[in-house]
Structure 1
Amino acid sequence: MKTDTNSSLDFRKYPSTKALQCFETAARHLSFTNAAQEMHMTQSAISKQVAQLEEVLNIALFYRTPQKISLTPAGKTYYLDVLDILKHIEIATTNLVSHNDNTEVLRIVSHPTFCSRWLIPALSGFDKAYPLINLEVKEQVGPFFSEDQNVDIAFLYGTGIWGGMEAIKLFDEYSVAVCHPDYLKDKETFSSGIANYTLLHLNSRLNAWYEYFEQQEVSVNNTFIGPRFDTFQACISAALLGYGLALVPLRLVERELQSGALVTAWDYAAKGRGSYYMTYPLSLGESHRIKVIINWISAYLET
């Protein structure tokens, strides 16, 4: 098998989807036999497809011995690329057959905790009111808008100023210190310091506890010490399990506070530096689906 990769690939000899599927399955199982069983083909047919693929690429993808096959370094790299390609084909095909010509797709992205605890309840009933708009909701820490992403609208926390974006303010943020009801037992009072408390931190807001106490004009040391988490959801879960005190937006823990699963450690709500916004590219300002979601969220806020 030649391994010269300098020759260009004839556009008429691009690998077929069938060949890529056979290669991916064989690479995943490291077995032509198991790949044949999964794809309902014969072993020789799988082997032939892979061999033809190697011929087209002019490079060996597998090491072959009488006992087993294994991926070459090039094969390992190609496998990851092919897997990504096949997943994109699957998603594109599924989207095409699930949406008819009369429907629109509204692609939404949001911070994970905000999405599950505020946005999803806010969108309840949207599908019935607008059956021709299909929602695609993605949870993401960030960034939300980039060249390789196809996003229509995002729900963000910040100052409301993003380049090329229109931002509509939803509400300000007020954060409270919460914990499991049993966590405060046998703890010293707040005035004596926080040495016996474990402060839970959000990675993106490591100054939050310092600012919380500063707003109250209380001098506290070691506010940066404690476990760190990527999302408010993880902080809330840790607090529910008695790990320590979580400083989280009040709107995101209303359910737990009402049920008594969490309690506020101190009677103070700290105003955040930013607010919550729904934002969309200026180029989509006249889009029907954008107007619909803005009206829906605005009506939800009024109720």
Structure 2
Amino acid sequence: MDTARRTARGAPALLLLLLLLGTGRTDGYRPVVIVHGIFDGPRQFQTLSHFITEVGHVSRDNVHMHRQAIPFGETSGMHPGTEVTVIDLYSDLGSLSSLWTQVQDFRKAFDAIALRAPDGVHLLCFSQGGLICRALLSLAPRHNVHTFVSLSSPLSGQYGDTDYLRWLFPSFMKSKVFRLCYSIGGQKVSVCDYWNDPHQRHRYLQSNTFLPMLNGERPHLHQKEWRENFLLIKKLVLIGGPDDGVITPWQSSHFGFYNIDENIVEMRNQETLAARGAVSVCVRSGVKHVEWHSNRTVFTGCIERWLT
């Protein structure tokens, strides 16, 4: 009889636990999916993952499918128990693969995670990863992303002599890179997929097969559908700053970009989200490109409040 009573008393608690696990949320926080940037992989995002969660809630499926890089155990995080997945695809030199190729594979991995989270997920994407996530959201009808955090991403493109560019194309100055990037071979390299030369506008629109389509600058059959899919997000968080040193111009992280005179034209292609108060812009000085995902002030001031 005592055993039966204990079992009866324990059943509701067990049922509640199973229900919580089934929703893909812990302690009220939606799962967070992280997409890395160029030359990165999951190992670069352990600090950010620690910021987000105290106890890594990692399913066996996540470990198997996505080679989860989040350690088990306690950390000094802000949202205890949140499930965090850093998708382990196209890491390091693999990140130079064509962005359309990457988008298809990242989408498959993302869909597998999102299906287990009926209350929605947050998508946090760094640098080049922000463009992958934009394309993923545009191509995914009825997606369940609540907040899309774009962390120092070249959303309107890249045009600048940086250490990354000099390493990739040592024989080219920025004014000459278009000759390589706006070629059939160049469009197989990820950086060229968002190389936006303001002095070669016609070639950019004609030969770049990624960014002009994503931005709606080149008309295509799926343009309206892609826009509607992207607008399903509830919140867009844009983070960047003047001391980044890689994203050029740095305002590209906020959808700004150069005109032909290399003067900045501010964000203009997210008016719908801005009109409904769904855009948050966060500017931080003194943060270098490789520091965004490990800077606690950036996390607490620009990211934390949106991961609920």
Relative to the length of structure 2, the TM-score reads 0.30
Larger Rg: 1
Q: Greater share of strand residues, 1 or 2?
A: 1
> TM-score, normalization: structure 1?
0.30
